[in-house]
Amino acid sequence: MKREVNSVVPVFSIIMPVYNAEKYLEHSLDSIRNQDFSDFELILVNDSSTDNSLAVCIKYAAIDPRITVIDCKRNGGAAVARNRGIKEAKGNYLCFVDADDYIDRDFLQQFYKALQENEYDFVKSGAYEEYYDKEDLVYSRKCMLEQKNCQGLKEITEQVIDMEQIPLFGYIWNSAYRMSIIRAHNLWFDKTLTVNEDFAFNVAYLPFVRKMRCFSYCGYHYAKRNNTSLSSQQKNYDYEKHLLKVRSFLLLLKQNQMETQAMLDKVYWMFTRFTFSALEAGTALETVRKEPIFAAYQNHSFGSVGCKKKLLTSILQSNKAFLIKPTVDLMRFVKQHLPVLFAKVKK
């Protein structure tokens, strides 16, 4: 199913923020240019790179009229770069690709087919998480969604929480958005966030979604580079901003009268994961204890959950440092020295 390029209104606008990605950029751009579905524009937003990324962008724009380059003179971060791209986008649907990732040849074709089936406002797919040690691919994990069509805020909310268990809801690169919704409701990425800006954008978009399509196709390759030093974790992990997910989901459940055992189990398991990650990265246990959600979490009785979840939730709910500290130390060791094993165990 080929579609010719429409120079006025392309079907897809693809936005790619670019910052110091010259090692991976050509592979990523080639994967987009070689799509079976050709009716798209690609907007490259160079976020004041200090390597040769801009030169690569300009080279590709010179050989492909579908590519536009925006050169930001000051580094503003991914949220600002994506907002610049949204401002210039002309397509009917919006997609995102990161500069060190790539997509399969049929990626846009599959999304176009899914969008046309029932005029969906929001389409989500699966993806591959690919773990790299230096430049070598050492492990690939296929993250799939079940085929499901959702209508109405309650059904969509339940599906969204299920997706984030994988997790696949919070990402933007496995998604297609209706541009008319983004324009009508003036939706932008929150430039004050340095993490979870993707999740916040999806939450802001969600109330305007009438019909959502989830499909099992996996055509996006998400690269996870090996950067597991403790100093890097401490610099990049912001516990407060990660709790945005938990607060958002608890509020959604309350607003839609969906505070069932099963739904609360899922949200409080997310809280368990985020809290252990925060402790691994150096957040003090006292900070966790002062978090208002922690009191509610301690009083929550989990229903039927697996052995791993039962063990970790019991340890954290106990609030006993002599149990929590060695658990965190073990997690940190495995994450730093055995990242592939950690990726397999966390499934």
Q: What is the pLDDT of residues 191-225, one digit of tens each?
A: 988 778 999 999 999 999 999 999 999 999 999 88
What mean pLDDT is predicted for residues 86-107? 98
Q: Give me the helix-helix angle, 321-337 and 307-318, nearest 10°.
A: 130
10 — pLDDT class (breaks 50, 70, 90): very high
**Other C-beta atoms lying within 10 Å of the C-beta of residue 55:** 13
346 — pLDDT class (breaks 50, 70, 90): low
pLDDT at 48: 95
Distance CA 345, CA 211 (A): 34
Contact at 8 Å (CB) between 74 and 48? yes
Distance CA 255, CA 192 (A): 26
pLDDT surpassing 80 at residue 286: yes
Buried b (16+ CB within 10 A) or exposed e, 91-130: bbbbbbbbbbbbbbebbbbbbbebbeeeebbbbbbbbbbb
Q: For residue 174, what are the CA distances in angstroms to 18, 41, 129, 214, 334?
A: 18, 17, 12, 10, 28
pLDDT at 75: 95
What mean pLDDT is predicted for residues 290-302? 94
pLDDT surpassing 90 at residue 260: yes
pLDDT at 3: 39
Biggest CA–CA distance in the chain, Å, is 64
pLDDT at 229: 33
235 — pLDDT class (breaks 50, 70, 90): very low
Long-range contact set of residues 200-204: C-beta below 8 Å, sequence gap at least 24: 200/244, 201/172, 202/169, 202/170, 202/172, 202/175, 203/248
Q: φ and ψ at 313, to 5 degrees?
A: -65, -35
Q: φ and ψ at 80, to 5 degrees?
A: -65, -40
pLDDT at 226: 66
pLDDT at 347: 58
Q: In the chain, which segments carry CATH 3.90.550.10?
A: 12-225
Distance CA 144, CA 123 (A): 14
Q: Give tens-digit pLDDT for 12-64.
A: 999 999 999 999 999 999 999 999 999 999 999 999 999 999 999 999 999 99
Report which of 51, 47, 45 is spatially closest to residue 22, judged by C-alpha positions: 51
The CATH class, in words, for 12-225 is alpha beta
Q: Residue 184 has which token pair?
A: 């009508």
DSSP secondary structure letters along 25-62:
HHHHHHHHHT-S---EEEEEEEE--SSSHHHHHHHHHH
227 — pLDDT class (breaks 50, 70, 90): low
pLDDT surpassing 70 at residue 242: yes
Q: Give me the helix-helix angle, 261-280 and 321-337, nearest 10°.
A: 70
Contact at 8 Å (CB) between 16 and 44? yes
Type of residue numbered 223? A
Q: Which residue has the higher pLDDT, 241 or 174?
A: 174
Q: How many residues belong to the chain?
A: 347
Distance CA 318, CA 333 (A): 22
Q: Give tens-digit pLDDT for 141-200.
A: 999 999 999 998 889 999 999 999 898 999 999 999 999 999 999 999 999 887 789 999
pLDDT surpassing 90 at residue 228: no
Distance CA 124, CA 121 (A): 10
Q: φ and ψ at 305, to 5 degrees?
A: -130, 160
